[in-house]
Amino acid sequence: MNEAVPAKVWLEHEGTLLRIRLARPKANVIDAAMCKALSEAFHNHVNQPELRAVILDADGPHFSFGASVEEHLPDQCADMLHGFHALILQILAAPVPVLVAIRGQCLGGGLELACAGSILFAEPGAMMGQPEISLAVIAPAASCLLPQRIGQARAEDLLFSGRSVKADEALAMGLVNFVADDPEAAAVAYFEKHLAPKSASSLRHAVRAARKGEIGGIKRKLEAVESLYLDDLMKTHDAVEGLQAFLEKRAAQWQDR
């Protein structure tokens, strides 16, 4: 496992479990290099016939602070969104369950990445949220994934307020499935008890059945929201001002336009 790469990738349990780990602590920023590394990991391994699950976790005290703010600026955001959304759809289309272990902060693009998974495990002190609106931008993937995962009303609360929720509230609203002191160990234990004994072939059919028709709808909505982001939002003063103010570590000056 090379420490210099954005993500660590290895197989366990005689090739039946794929481990993918964000490897740029403490922030584990989801930038173009991270997206490429994650996409390659899924592409290279998920179609192995004996594979039964993926566990996605992160080095360091935090899962991810989110996507690169620099790459959200007008001259880079089209490429950034296209690559990140392609990764989200790739994870959603994975033929096996994707278990996600969350520690510390899991924000913005980090939470969008996690929500593309199947079953989420979080430590009690984990904090999850979509703070994009505080920078006067939006979270396209979360706008598509959160309503499906936690319902429209709860999704709108998180998307409009930008607030973060602790693991207990996330569990109550269905954002995560389990809370455990060691979420990585809990994910491995879940795999060993519930997935490893199953037929890999039948498990893949179960995944296809559960997601039948869902991915197409998310893809269509995500394309529409991405266009809204690029063609409308990024032409406003406040969206650009919010990003620049964050990078310059100053208070944003809204003009409401």
pLDDT at 96 over 70: yes
Q: What is the mean pLDDT of the chain?
A: 96
pLDDT at 15: 97
CATH code, domain carrying 59 = 3.90.226.10
Question: Diameter of the chain by CA atoms?
Answer: 58
State the Cα–Cα distance between residues 61 and 106, nearest whole angstrom. Answer: 10
In a domain, 221, yes or no: no
Does residue 194 belong to any structural domain of this protein?
Answer: no
Q: Is residue 35 part of a domain?
A: yes
Q: Where are the alpha helices (DSSP H) in 162-199?
A: 167-173, 183-190
Q: Mean per-residue pLDDT for 78-94?
A: 97
Per-residue pLDDT at 104 exceeds 70: yes
Query: Counting Cβ atoms within 10 Å, is residue 59 exposed (0-12), middle (13-18) or buried (19+)?
Result: middle
pTM over 0.75: yes
pLDDT (0 to 100) of residue 30: 96
pLDDT at 39: 98
Q: Which of 197, 209, 218 is nearest to 90 (CA)?
A: 218
Rounded distance, CA 229 to CA 236, Å? 10
Mean pLDDT of 26-43: 96
Return the SS3 of 103. coil
* Residue 55 exposed, middle or buried by CB count within 10 Å (0-12, 13-18, 19+): buried
pLDDT greater than 90 at residue 251:
yes
Note the pLDDT tens digit of each residue in 211-223: 999 999 999 999 9
Count of all residues that appear for the chain in the document: 257
Structural domain includes residue 59: yes
3: confidence class by pLDDT, cuts 50, 70, 90? very low
Question: Does residue 111 lie in a domain region?
Answer: yes
In a domain, 175, yes or no: yes
Residue 11 has pLDDT above 90, yes or no: yes
Residue 110 lies in a domain: yes
> Which percentage of the chain shows pLDDT scores above 90?
95
Number of domains within the chain? 1
Considering only CA atoms, which of 130, 196, 136, 193 is closest in space to residue 163?
Answer: 130
Looking at the domain assignment, is residue 257 inside a domain?
A: no
Task: Give the per-residue pLDDT at 236.
Answer: 97
- Specify the pLDDT at position 2: 41
β pairing state of 98-102 and 17-22: unpaired
Domain, as residue range, for 165: 7-182
What integer pLDDT is reported at residue 75 of this predicted model?
Answer: 86
